Structure 1
Amino acid sequence: MLVSPSLADLSRLYQTEFVRSARAVGVLWAVCTLCFAIIQVVILVQPSWICTTDVRPQQAGPEPPSGTLGLFEVCMESDWPVPDCHGGLSTLSPLPSLQSVAVLVGVSLLAVWTSVLCLCLFRFCSAATVYKICAWLQLTAGFCLALACLLFPDSWESQEMKALCGDSVGSFSPGNCSVHWAYILAILGVLDYAILATLAFVLANRQDALLPPDTQECEWIVSIHYPSCLASFFSQLNLFDSLSS
């Protein structure tokens, strides 16, 4: 059945507009991925997961300590403008009670930065394959971060927490403290990773619908078509060299 020229032109125009919209959404997705990868570095290193509340003592005596706690250090307020901090990221040793949480956040950070580096594969592989790889990496990062957020309250019954928040502290009971902005940002990060991974899968499916049947995809690391993609890539380089000469 012959297709009228007007209908063919309309279909071509629709496909062009669809490709432009998909590219715009893909750029927005990549920018959000990079921004939250930087934010997660802040979540890991900042001692702002727990903060003391303003509690006035009922009886005369020394005032309770005030400060903040993170995965790697505890900071107590002092008479100096700079708080007195114990521990730090320079030693690469998290607090003993928060080692599992720090490892999970570190794995999540590694996964999301790997997805950022995978953005370079858009030049060599099909967009659908790159989106799928990044989506699985972001799901891994979100799962590790969610598990870290769940394990963190169970680690409150430690010497560092008791020294900062009083003897009434316990698992899922912060005592004289409350969760601070870094922990809240980590919880929001789980939702952010879920949204980014879902958007990446949607973009990958849209890109699959636009691929011609004879297109060779590069299933980078996870597919057996890796050699064929490299062969296609180098053949294109040879063709470019012959044309330029």
Structure 2
Amino acid sequence: MQHHSSEVARLYQTEFIRSARAVGVLWAVCTLCFAVIEVVILIQPSWVGTRELHYRGGGPAPPTGTLGLFEVCMETDWPVPECRGSLHTLTPLPAFQSPAVLVCMSLTMVWASVGCLCLFRFCNAATVYKICAWLQLTAGFCLALACVLFPDSWACAEMRALCGERVSSFSPGNCSVHWAYILALLGVLDAGILATLAFVLGNRQDALLPEDAKDGDVTGLLLAA
């Protein structure tokens, strides 16, 4: 009877380990996707853009275009918009230097957590999870701060040229927030979810591993799934 109970317990433990590995692989894939999204958030000139206005004649048409951390893009008669800025040299617009630096810091933290996935083969899995969790938590904090500082910097020449003279801090005038800024807000939520999941996986990893594997080498999650 005791032997049967131990076999059942070992079976349940094996199933728990498989489930934890499956969740870990999903977490790793989502972390990689989040890192790619961070790159898009940083470089895309679509944080704000002009609204759809019904223009009536009698004067020059208001400009239409979009603005990001590095570029201002105006629509022209050509299919490709005319962009002004320094994306190639990664020089942000003067008014948005602080948000750009914070997004770059967030991007660095996320890609550092992606690099830490290689440590699963060499280090204790619980420790790696917790390192990644703190990196992702820091990335989310930097991204959240960038999302707050960005609208606070709207009272600048680039925004006035695109959105009119009614622009002020947290008031975009004739413009509205576009998909890149919304994606940044969703990125803050994503970072919080990934960090929380990493903390949970890290705290439970030692309990899920068999006794003979706790002090030994831990196989990488992506190869062990």
Normalized against structure 2, the TM-score is what?
A: 0.92
Cα displacement string for residues 41-84 of structure 1 (whole angstroms, at most 9, x for unaligned residues): 01100000001002234661000000000000000001111101
Deviation at 1:134, TM superposition (A): 0.3
Give 5+ residue unaligned stretches, structure 2. 219-225
Counterpart residue number, 1:25: 23
Counterpart residue number, 1:16: 14
Counterpart residue number, 1:115: 113
Q: Greater relative contact order (Cα 8 A, min sep 6): structure 1 or 2?
A: 2
| Partners of 1:74 and 1:214 in 2: CA distance | 55
Deviation at 1:216, TM superposition (A): 4.6
Counterpart residue number, 1:195: 193
Cα displacement string for residues 220-244 of structure 1 (whole angstroms, at most 9, x for unaligned residues): xxxxxxxxxxxx89xxxxxxxxxxx
Normalized against structure 1, the TM-score is what?
A: 0.85
| Partners of 2:213 and 2:132 in 1: CA distance | 24
CA RMSD in angstroms, aligned pairs only? 1.8
Give 5+ residue unaligned stretches, structure 1. 218-231, 234-245
Residue from 139, 144, 147 that aligns with 1:146 = 144
Q: Write the mapping of 1:1-245 to structure 2, written as runs, cut at 5 A.
A: 4-57=2-55, 60-211=58-209, 212=211, 215-216=214-215
* C-alpha contact (below 8 Å) 2:133/2:196 kept by paired residues: yes
Between structure 1 and structure 2, the one with the greater Rg is 1
Structure 1 stretches of 4+ moved >2 Å:
56-59, 210-217
The amino acid across from 2:131 in the alignment is: I
Identity within the alignment, %: 72
| Partners of 2:193 and 2:160 in 1: CA distance | 37
Q: In structure 2, the residue corresponding to 1:61 is in which secondary structure?
A: coil
Seen in structure 2, the aligned counterparts of structure 1 residues 32 and 214 have a Cα distance that, compared at 3 Å, is closer
Q: In structure 2, the residue corresponding to 1:74 is in which secondary structure?
A: strand
